[in-house]
Amino acid sequence: MDSAAAAIDKKRRGNGQEALRRKPELRPVTRAECERSIELTPWQVLHALARGYVLPSQGMGRGLAEHWLSLKYCEALHGNRAGCMDLTEKGGSSERWYKAMQARELAVGFGLAAAEHIVQQRYPDHIVSVVDTSTVLRAGWALGGSQRGKGSRPRPDYLIEAWKPGEPSKVTLVACRGNHQKPNKRTGRTRNTTLQQLVKGSELTEGMQIGPWNTTPCLMLSTELMGQGGVVVNAVQSPGETLLPLRTPHGPGNADEEIRDKPGIPYPNAIHIPARDGKRARTVDGFQVPEKDLGWFGQLLARTAAAGLTAFSGGGPTTARYLTAHQGKAHYTAPIFAATSSYHDADIEIGDTKFVGTDHVFRMETVRIEAFSGMDSRLYGLIRDGRLEEYRQAAYELRSTRDNTDGTGKWNGPISFHDDGTVMALSILPIHRRRPR
């Protein structure tokens, strides 16, 4: 990575550009936090992908565009002879446009699944929530650059909050990228594309600081979809720990209280870098959450995560109540269309638990498949009624009662559960042949 970063900086200087800031300290992920392999099913990857994309893909076609984005990859993944997840023949399609889209999107599924696993190992008695960074930042910051044509400001792709009732939440910044490069057959080393993506992740995560500079832990991940022996996720980390102020269910600043967009958060030259390596202290451009705003940021993070849960379940107006105006509240209060919208009007029973959410029937060639995404009805009811702090307490108490399994109860298909109460379930429907009149 150091060599790849040096080559990038040399090229930028040759073009008259400044070198970009990156994380000053990077380390490998330790064996205690992640073994060399993670036990994971394809539907768990699709579940992670759907949860990651559900809020940032706002638009009038939100039902099909958001909830079911992941389902086009149902035929892309399988287990190879080595017992590792791999691309199928269809998944390895040679069309360049498809490969680019597949690498970008499956990188989110695999990257988030790996990042959640690592954070869960760090905080084993916590629940892990994933929130899209851009959706969070819209409540207080301008995402675009100040100069026309410069694009958006660097920032991580996702925030992972590890939370437990009665304890401060822990936040980790995550950047996910993906490619179809294969390791060198002779040396086994990762190719340059993966290294460049990890360097890019270091630049993105450096663009956001929560509290004092360089104290928030970061994970940079690059997924190789055509690696030797299956799918390979390369990960490096920047160490640290960021704690958000403790909230109490009925105390000041709890997540049940509605918050508004926070105007006036300083943005240009907001990040304060202390003196180090012989350089003077300086201020640079970037997203900075000041220490005095950590309480507000914790509320914002919890409410945005709740909006993601209800959007995943087809929440509509329920999703809107947890978003600010700048976060896209209007998208979920606008009229919806039957052909493209999803609504929480479907339910399934798994064991003794009822899940409420939304469903969709799609086809893969001649096979009709039903897909359901939703939440435990008890937990969804608490969020629907605005009792977010009670939801977190109830979800924490229920977290150990569910297990991922190929099929449970009357549902004849793969199911993915998550500790936050969400579920994604797939099932092949029987063939109904139409008879001529």
> What confidence tens digit (pLDDT) does each residue in 111-147 have?
999 999 999 999 999 999 999 999 999 998 888 755 4
Q: Is the separation of the CB atoms in 75 and 88 below 8 Å?
A: yes
- Tell me which DSSP letter residue 66 carries: I
Distance CA 135, CA 328 (A): 8
* Among 363, 315, 309, 321, residue whose Cα is nearest residue 336: 315
User: Residues with Cβ < 8 Å from 169, sequence gap 6 or more?
Assistant: 161, 162, 163, 243, 244, 298, 301, 302
Residue 98 identity: Y
Residue with tokens 């896209």: 328
Among 353, 321, 368, 339, CA closest to 422 = 353
Listed as ranges, residues in the chain with pLDDT below 70 are: 57-69, 94, 145-151, 183-190, 227-229, 252, 264-269, 335-344, 402-410, 433-434
Element (H, E) at 271: strand 271-273
Burial of 322 (0-12, 13-18, 19+ CB in 10 A): buried
Closest CA to 198 of 416, 402, 417, 4: 4
Distances (CA, A) of 236 to 102, 159, 205, 231: 22, 16, 12, 17
d(CA 405, CA 426): 12
- In the 8-state DSSP scheme, what is residue 305? H
Residues 6+ apart with CB under 8 A from 359: 346, 370, 371, 372, 373
Q: 420: which 2 tokens? A: 């936050």
Return the pLDDT at 352: 85
Give the residue from 390, 405, 424 showing the smallest Cα distance to 312: 424
CA 311 to chain centre: 14
Start-to-end CA distance of the chain, whole Å, equals: 67
The predicted pLDDT at position 406 comes to 47
Q: What are the structure tokens assigned to 288, written together?
A: 């900075």
Position 61 scores a pLDDT of 41
For the chain, state the CA radius of gyration. Answer: 22
Helix (H) or strand (E) holding 243: strand 242-243
Contact 228, 311 (CB under 8 A): no
CA–CA gap between residue 172 and residue 111 (Å, rounded):
13
Tokens found for residue 413: 């298909």
CA distances from 408 to 70, 99, 304 (A): 22, 34, 31
